[in-house]
Structure 1
Amino acid sequence: MATDRLQQDVSTAIVSDSSEALSGCFESTDWSIFSDPSLDATADVTSAYIAFCADTVLETKSCTVYPNTKPWSGDRDEVKAVQRQLTKQIREDKRRFATKLENNFREGNSRQYWQDVQTITSYKPKKVPLKTTDEAKLAGELNTFYARFDQRNFSEEQRKVMEEVLSRPSTPIIITTDEVRSTFKKVKARSAAGPDNITGRRLRECGDSLAPVYRELFQRSLDEHSIPAIWKSSILVPVPKKPNPLTLNDYRPVAHTSIPFKCAEKLVLRRLRLETEDHQDPLQFAYTRNRSTEDAILTLVHNVSAHLEKPSSYARC
């Protein structure tokens, strides 16, 4: 066990050194050379340079795990003691599960009984993948299926809305470096990267170095009323909704968007809430902090139940 702790400390030190080296690389960079009249070009070059530095500085290691790989190597007596404890616990859990199975059978709970039987027999429904002989063709079909709502061109409507918004007097939004740094520190380390190939761990560990860079990009995006294309793009991952996907609609599109732009959205949303919270409907649950679908259902059930307590009343949903 002492050896395992030592190996863990060593691996933590290696990760820390790599992060410090990457942060030092960013701090010694002259970011002004990436500035371009086009915001799209500036965002693309900045993202590509960050990904290049990460690939160059950080060490990657691949390891293969086999079924017979031992979980740890240490004191044999301690291993045997843990194995005996595990065997005893498994025996106790089997006895408890058998009692549960008998009770479900006596009480007539057939649904739970058959689920327990399937658990004992390791029964799993056979998964039938979507039949296709060409993966590229399937990807194209999914892309067309997901983009079926984007056929109409809204450029004219967007132009009118932009003209109306710009004609109104407003206070410019100013983003500070401390706000960006604080938001980067709260990013989940395991967040999947978007099209800019910037992971959550990379953004969190190097937030102090990258905060001034992205602060300039965020501020410029707000001042120019424009969003770079790389921030509006996303990587769609089709996830099956059920075990046996048969049609394209059986796949749920999960979008991986740019993590830095998600942080920019949080910074703007924080200011929008201050302006809109006093005007929101008290029964609004969507896009509202600390409210969920369960809250909406409970509120509906409560209001309907309270109404039905009155004589000669009814509710129709």
Structure 2
Amino acid sequence: MRAADRDTGNTELERNRSPVEEHLQSAMNHLTKTWLHPDIPNSLVDLEGFSLVRADRDESSGKTRGGGVCVYIREGWCSQYTVRESVCKPDVELLCLSLRPFYLPREFGNIIICAAYVPPSGNAAKAASCITDCVHKQLQRTPGAPIFILGDFNHCRLDSSLPGYEQYIKCATRGNKILDKCYGNVKDAYVAKPKPPLSNCDHNTIHLVPIYKTLLKRSKPQTKTVLVWSDDNIEILKGCFACTDWELFHDMDIEDATETITDYINFCVDTVVEKKTVTVFPNNKSYITKEIKECLNRKKLAFNNQDKTELKSVQKELNSLLKEARTKHRDIIEQNFNFGNSRKLWDAMKVVTNMEPVRNRLITSNEQQRANDLNDFFLRFESPLEELVDLDSIRCNSDCRLEVVPYTVYSLFKGICTKKATGPDGISAF
């Protein structure tokens, strides 16, 4: 939203939001071009039930009047917020907040809100670069957090500087143009609904309605079978392997011996070690342990019993367990980067980026023909050359001549990347 008149903007907002339930229940109200300055106290622009966070225009913007952004945060929705960054430049005015609402989906730890205003006279490229730097800085601090950039962008666009971010406002905000925008890194998070403008403002009020479905509702829980290891099971397995006559495998082929020994070890493990079926919910964090779940259950029990002393004690213990589990999980991922094992490296990258495996199956109309084509392709090196190529037709064709030029050979070898792994012929790929 945008308030263009500093004298009537607040009273108009108070008058418009009073009879409308959706404005009373809105989590935040965002205003751009507030025209506020340090001589105007918060008491003159406060809204009942909302906390005000403002970033007024100062002399560093090159102007003394106008501008400014502010955010009203509903106290019943969030009381913990931190101002991460405040920028006031001739090209952009930016206010970055980190919020921890009372309720959030488990896949999110906090929310980053960036309120921006790009003046019509500002440089769009410099404004986009400043906003992008702020976004990357916040994501480095809290990776995986949902971040939303909203405000009056005028002629500035973030599609190229922040690829992959969705722009939620599809309706016109001034005339037939979309000047007020909201970018976010969460797909299908909001849907925009236009509302009448405030007082003398020439921009429509935009109501962002959340439509996001939590990961728990979008994905089904998975059932997995895990092995329950104990000291007794390990000792029993040691006894089994100690009594095994391993000399029986000495005379076997290497491939048969490998397969037989592997099957034997798996058989011993399945026989000795107890199995347990567990349910893994999609919104579970990878660092959540059994101790943390037990602590969470004790916290719920203390809350239901209204035992404030026990609740405070359990919360302190939970914070300690979470900090220890996150540190341990971070160390494991960092160790995978330091190892030379590429498989562990990519597994760590998938955990960091929350990458899901792509399950695309090639569907063909004739499965038997596809199987035959695959067999012919992989067995082409074992077939005689005469079956693959008609050598007589090549010899008889006098026009088909192979001409090797030294410059061509030199150019091909010069284009070889020596940093890549070599193939069976000892030469790197082009």
Query: Taking structure 2 as the reference length, what is the TM-score of the superposition?
Result: 0.19
Query: Taking structure 1 as the reference length, what is the TM-score of the superposition?
Result: 0.24
Please state which structure has a larger fraction of its residues in helix: 1
Structure number with greater CO (CA < 8 Å, separation at least 6) is 1
